[in-house]
Amino acid sequence: MAKKTQMVVGTWGIRSSVHSLIGLLLTLLIITAVYLTQDSTGRPSEDRTCSGDDSLSHCNLFSGKWVFDNQTYPLYKENQCTFMSDQLACGKFGRKDLSYQNWRWQPHQCNLPRFNATALLERLRNKRLVFVGDSLNRGQWVSMVCLVDSSIPPTLKSMNGNGSLVSFKAIEYNASIEFYWAPLLVESNSDHPVNHRLPDRIVRVKAIEKHARHWTDADILVFDSYLWWRRPQMNVLWGSFESPHDAIYKKVEMLRVYEMAMRTWSDWLEVHVNRTKTQLFFVSMSPTHERGKDWGGGENCYTETELVSREGYWGSDSDPKMMRVVETVLDELKTRGVNVQMLNITQLSEYRKEGHPSIYRKQWERLTEDQISDPSNYADCIHWCLPGVPDVWNEFLYAYIVHQ
């Protein structure tokens, strides 16, 4: 009996030792896993990028903070981008403080996947990526072209324009990255790609086919429409621009017209988009910084070199009501089987009052003596310098195209 008891106790001791060893190994594995998911700053490491099949849905890319990073940003050099726009090349036109190029967006829950031009081009092989909208969308298009430009040999890329449609082609991949000018999405008297600055803006809220036929077969569509709507009322046309004598014009409150136009756009998507292959995105409104009193600064963004530091800052030029119209339309589309991903760039871009060209861009018209004597009155506080803020918008787009 004593021997049997000793055997049982001995066996129990061995089992306890094995269990202790297993427990120790599990503890070490957990500690190692936690350590590996941290980088030297305590942020999630690259293993925590939003790159799994469903990880994007568990990571809010748009909630985070700007982090100064002059080691890995900018993602390209302004003077090395073959197709840089003079409207956005702030360094070329005399800006000395270039720190606006060195800010990286850090989501709270994970890291943005590092932009890889080759991976994107491979995903775009035999496809069309088309940006549709206004000059802010065009700036994002220029940014995307610059992001992939250096990865393509000079003889294997081209740029061609045909009216409102401009196309960058990566020949080896048979991939195109295009921009189509349609600042109000629906037809308007501002549709000419060059001569569109008219004092009296008119829209045909029920007409979109004239534009849409140019991007019907696109594989990825990125829309925006905000800047050109910023006025209390819009002239709405029932009829045709080609038959002005039979047309009916009426002034309508802007938000109502905007909603009608967005529903025309959404109805077109529901009918024409191939839901099995086409990816759809809508970029939320890009904030302007034309009122320095919003952040306790000067007249506007002129001479600004620092970010807005107040968390949750929201400028008076951004219209939450317009944003809610877009959100409602996208939610309704989803119930009809059409998924449009919102790229919610508004809040994170609100902080970047120093990221605009200000006076450091090509001036398309000769400056007046009054403007020369007071530079702040012609400062561009609407568009964005490149490299800069729109590159981050494209990092979001890259995450959804390549890692979703």
Structure tokens at 167: 């196309």
Residue 175 has pLDDT above 50, yes or no: yes
Range in 31-35, 188-192, 197-201, 237-241 the model is least confident about: 31-35
Residue 49 is predicted with a pLDDT of 55
Reply yes or no on whether the pLDDT at 149 is more than 60: yes
Q: What average pLDDT score do residues 278-293 get?
A: 97
Rounded to whole angstroms, how far apart are CA atoms 306 and 190? 35
Burial of 133 (0-12, 13-18, 19+ CB in 10 A): buried
The answer to whether the CB of 49 falls within 8 A of the CB of 110 is yes
Q: Using 50, 70 and 90 to split pLDDT, how confident is the model at 40?
A: very low
pLDDT at 388: 98
Query: What mean pLDDT is predicted for residues 278-288?
Result: 98
Beta bridge partners of 49: 111
Q: What is the token pair recorded at 284?
A: 């939320």
pLDDT tops 70 at residue 20? no
Give the N- to C-terminal CA distance of the chain in Å, as an integer: 66
Percent of the chain with pLDDT over 70: 86
Farthest CA pair distance, the chain = 114
> How many residues can be counted in the chain?
404
- Residue 50, pLDDT score: 58
- How far is Cα 85 from Cα 97, in angstroms, rounded to an integer? 19
Question: How far, in Å, are 35, 38, 113, 334 from residue 41 at the CA level?
Answer: 12, 8, 17, 39
Contact present, 82 and 149 (Cβ < 8 Å): yes
Q: Spot the catalytic one: 225, 318, 383, 391.
A: 383
Query: Average pLDDT, stretch 230-259?
Result: 90
What SS3 state is found at 229?
helix
> Residue 267 catalytic?
no
- Whether 5 has a pLDDT exceeding 70, the answer reads no
Alpha helices in 37-155 (DSSP H): 117-123, 135-149
For residue 180, list its beta bridge partners: 132, 165
What residues have CB less than 8 Å from 53, skipping those under 6 apart?
A: 404
**Percent above pLDDT 90 for the chain:** 77
| Catalytic choice (149, 294, 380, 391) | 380
Torsion of CA 201, 284, 254, 186, to 10 degrees: 50
Calpha distance 341→334 (Å, rounded): 10
| Domain positions in the chain | 54-403
C-alpha span between 389 and 140 (Å, rounded): 9
Catalytic: 383? yes
Q: Which of 135, 164, 318, 358 is catalytic?
A: 135
> Is it the case that residue 383 has pLDDT exceeding 70?
yes
Around Cβ 156, how many Cβ atoms within 10 Å?
11
Is the separation of the CB atoms in 287 and 316 below 8 Å? no
* Range 388-394 average pLDDT: 98
Q: Which pLDDT score is estimated for 8?
A: 38
Res 293 pLDDT > 80: yes
